[in-house]
């Protein structure tokens, strides 16, 4: 019975690769680089993540080269639990449209668990439409019980202190 389940799982995942018209070697690449997707991963969730990137303007070739090639763990993410909160934060900070597409293209790891740290770095650098000015506006718009935008006095931390957090 176990062998049949493995065969069915392989069939579903090879369908994911062929259904999105990705090159045939993508299945082998996923098997080597992200076995968790093939053994216990959610094919539907991986498909939703791929559709998200397609909605951001990525082609099948981009997905095969960038996501499967370098960031296959992104296919293990849940769209609602892992991607949507990051998008809401970026939208609240006025990172939309072309800036958002560019950010996702140049830094797909923005959807890591420590995405807030990455966003703070981009704010200090003033890239992707993010700045400390938009951070204050975004924090003012967020209703979190009236707390200050920063848990410490004096505003954002200098760049040198980021590594401590």
Query: Per residue in 56-101, pLDDT tens?
Result: 999 988 998 999 889 999 999 999 999 999 999 999 999 999 999 9
The residue among 143, 141, 154, 92 whose CA lies nearest residue 119 is 92
Cα distances (Å, whole numbers) of residue 98 to 57, 74, 101: 10, 21, 5
pTM of the model: 0.69
Handedness of CA 117, 123, 129, 134 (dihedral sign): positive
29 contacts 72 by C-beta, under 8 angstroms = yes
Rounded Cα gap, residues 118 and 150, in angstroms: 16
Residue predicted with more confidence, 154 or 25: 25
pLDDT tens profile 134-160:
555 555 545 444 444 444 444 444 444
């Amino acid at each position: 019975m176990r062998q049949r389940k493995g065969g069915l799982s392989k069939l579903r995942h090879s369908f994911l690769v062929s259904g999105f018209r990705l090159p045939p070697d993508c299945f082998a690449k996923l098997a080597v680089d992200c076995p968790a997707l093939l053994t216990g991963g959610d094919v539907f969730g991986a498909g939703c993540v791929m559709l998200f990137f397609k909605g951001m303007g990525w082609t099948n070739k981009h997905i095969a080269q960038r996501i499967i090639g370098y960031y296959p763990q992104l296919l293990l993410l849940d769209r609602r639990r892992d991607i949507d909160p990051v998008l809401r934060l970026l939208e609240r900070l006025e990172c939309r449209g072309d800036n958002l597409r560019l950010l996702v293209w140049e830094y797909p790891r923005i959807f890591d668990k420590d995405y807030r740290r990455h966003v703070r770095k981009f704010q200090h650098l003033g890239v992707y439409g993010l700045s400390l000015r938009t951070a204050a506006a975004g924090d003012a718009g967020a209703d979190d019980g009236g707390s200050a935008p920063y848990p410490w006095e004096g505003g954002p931390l200098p760049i040198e202190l980021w590594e401590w957090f």
